[in-house]
Amino acid sequence: MGDHGTCAEELRIGMHPVEVTISTEPPLVRGPYTTDGFTCPHGITYWIEPTGEQVARWVAEEASDG
C-alpha cells in the first residue's frame, strides 16, 4: 500500500502536465472542472482541480486556436 505521506504528490505527478491543486477538503464551490473526490488506498479522500493559472492558459490557448 505504500507510504500515505506520498499520496498527494503521487496524484500531482499523475496529473502532469496539468497544474493542479490537491486538497483533503472538498471545494466550497463546484466549478466546471470539479470532479468527485479520489480516495487513496489509505482511505483519505482528495479533491483535484486545475489551478487558476492552468485554466487561464487553457482559455488563452483556445482563443489563439480560434
Give the separation between CA 46 and CA 25, rounded to whole angstroms.
7
In the predicted model, what is the mean pLDDT of the chain?
A: 91
pLDDT value of position 3: 73
Give the separation between CA 2 and CA 41, rounded to whole angstroms.
9
Please give the average per-residue pLDDT across 39-60, as a whole number.
95
Q: Which helix (H) or strand (E) covers residue 8, if one does?
A: helix 7-15
pLDDT digits (tens, 9 = 90+) for 17-38: 999 999 999 999 999 999 999 9
pTM over 0.85: no
| Residue 12 or 3, more confident | 12
Which residues are CB-neighbours of 5 under 8 A, at least 6 positions away?
none
Give the separation between CA 42 and CA 11, rounded to whole angstroms.
13
